[in-house]
């Protein structure tokens, strides 16, 4: 029995020692990348290739979200933040955003859904909960199930900015029947502020592109939005304002829902971080991103 206790303690001691010593040695070299979960897998992929080419450096990629990434950069926890939306005005002053790729925001529905084109105004009304049945937009007689991303997600913020808060012809709105009761409680309490930009309370919230995809794939009435590069061919992508988000349309900026993927740094990044940024922007890095369905910034 004694040897069990003995070996247990020995292993414990060894592990603790090792972990603390090793910790001291390694700390300085890692370049931390924290931020958007939409960019995280891409950055992981880039960092693996980068590490392979530069064995002396280590790039560590963490998720957490666009906002968390910015915070991490501000607090010097991370050298590079990853942000899947444009910087807001107050943020633009404090950080430098480096676009690494463009990503289309795809509005997706079940493959069997007959609807294949919606206007921005229609999408907005759907997500506000004012259009609740597919037949109101020319589809089958079926309930619309909204699927959105969580509050604070870069994808959601980009969607809100590009669709919900976008200004367009007021005529489209006047044509909508005001009968559908949308968001009664919220509207009653905040009649003046943000009367129209809220995503309906009925929307189901999912925490990742994959979860949105999974839900839409299995629900004939569902509509959601996600990163274009991740849709592949399992879902039906809607044309917005008559423009289908093909590679050409997105590149030519004809498709209206496009957001940048940014690396965010404070004024001057360290040499290692700069090397990683350069790698991302190099032909090779960009090629890897294009292979994942993104649009190169070059």
Partner 1 sequence: MRLSPATSQRLAVTFLWTLAAATMGLLLFIVAFILVQGMPYVTWEFLSQSSRSMGREGGIFPMIVGTLWVAGLAVMIAAPVGVITAIYLTEYTREGKLTHVIRFGADCLAGIPSIIFGLFGFVFFVITLGMGLSVISGALTLAMMVLPTIIRTSEEAIRAVPASYRDVSYGLGATRWDMVTKVVLRSALPGIGTGIVLSIGRSISETAAVMLTAGSALRLPSSAFDSARTLALHFFILSREGISMPKAYATASVLILAILAINLTAYWVMQRFVAKAR
Partner 2 sequence: MKEATKDKCISLTLLAVAMSAIAGLALITAFIFKEGLPIMGKVGTGSFLLSSDWYPQEGRFGIFPMIIGSVAVTIGAMLIGGTLGLGCAIVLTQFCPPRLVMFLKPSIELLAGIPSVVYGFIGVVILVPAIAKYLGGPGLSVLAASMVLGVMVLPTVTSISVDALRAVPKAYREGSIALGATDWQTTHMVLLKAARSGIVAAIILGMGRAVGETMAVIMVAGNTLNLPRSVLDPVRTLTSNIALEMGYAAGDHRKALFATGVTLFVIIMILNIIALTVSRRRARRVGST
And the tokens for 284?
A: 């090779």
What is the Cα gyration radius of the chain?
23
The sign of the CA dihedral 106, 110, 111, 115 is: negative
Q: Treating both helix axes as pointing N-terminal to C-terminal, what angle do 271-281 and 40-53 enclose, rounded to 10 degrees?
A: 110
Cβ at position 230, least distance to partner 1 in Å: 8
Q: Give the contact letters, 209-248, x = binds to partner 2 (CB under 8 A), - = no.
A: --x--xx--xx-xx--------------------------
Task: Report 226-265 residues binding partner 1 (CB under 8 A).
Answer: 230
Q: Quick one: CA dihedral 20, 22, 25, 29, positive or negative?
A: negative
User: Is residue 285 a contact point for partner 2 (CB under 8 A)?
Assistant: no
What residues from 16 to 35 belong to the interface with partner 1 (CB under 8 A)? 16, 18-23, 25-27, 30
CA atoms within 13 A on the CB side of 276: 33
- Calculate the alpha carbon distances from 89 to 50, 167, 199 in Å: 32, 19, 23
The answer to the question of residue 36 lying near partner 1 (CB under 8 A) is no
Task: Tell me, by CB under 8 A, how many residues bind partner 2.
Answer: 35
Check binding of 218 to partner 1 (CB under 8 A).
no
Q: How far is CA 268 from the centre of its chain?
A: 26
- Binding partner 1 (rule: CB under 8 A), the pick from 208, 219, 246, 296 is 208
Tokens of 34: 């924290």
Smallest gap from Cβ 149 to partner 1, in A, equals 12
The residues binding partner 1 (CB under 8 A) are 1-2, 4-5, 8, 11-12, 15-16, 18-23, 25-27, 30, 37, 41-42, 44-45, 48, 51, 58, 60-63, 77, 207-211, 213-214, 230
């Amino acid at each position: 029995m004694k040897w069990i206790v003995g070996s247990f303690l020995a292993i414990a001691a060894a592990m603790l020692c090792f972990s603390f010593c090793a910790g001291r040695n390694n700390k300085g070299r890692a370049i931390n990348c924290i931020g958007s979960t939409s960019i995280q897998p891409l950055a992981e992929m880039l960092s693996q290739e980068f590490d392979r080419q530069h064995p002396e450096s280590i790039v560590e990629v963490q998720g957490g979200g666009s906002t968390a990434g910015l915070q991490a950069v501000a607090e010097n926890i991370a050298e590079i933040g990853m942000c899947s939306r444009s910087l807001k005005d107050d943020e633009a002053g404090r950080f430098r955003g480096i676009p690494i790729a463009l990503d289309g925001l795809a509005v997706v529905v079940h493959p069997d859904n007959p609807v294949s084109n919606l206007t921005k105004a229609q999408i907005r009304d759907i997500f506000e909960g004012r259009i609740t049945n597919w037949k109101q937009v020319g589809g089958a007689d079926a309930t619309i199930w909204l699927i959105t991303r969580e509050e604070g997600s870069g994808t959601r913020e980009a969607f809100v900015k590009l669709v919900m808060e976008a200004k367009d012809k007021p005529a489209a709105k006047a044509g909508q029947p005001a009968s559908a009761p949308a968001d009664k409680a919220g509207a009653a309490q905040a009649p003046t502020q943000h009367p129209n930009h809220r995503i309906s309370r009925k929307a189901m919230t999912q925490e990742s592109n994959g979860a949105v995809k999974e839900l839409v794939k299995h629900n004939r009435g569902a509509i959601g939005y996600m990163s274009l590069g991740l849709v592949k061919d399992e879902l039906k992508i809607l044309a917005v304002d008559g423009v289908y988000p093909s590679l050409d349309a997105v590149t030519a900026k004809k498709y209206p829902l496009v957001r940048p993927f940014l690396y965010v740094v404070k004024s001057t990044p360290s040499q290692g971080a700069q090397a990683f940024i350069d790698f991302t922007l190099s032909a090779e890095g960009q090629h890897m991103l294009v292979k994942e369905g993104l649009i190169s910034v070059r």
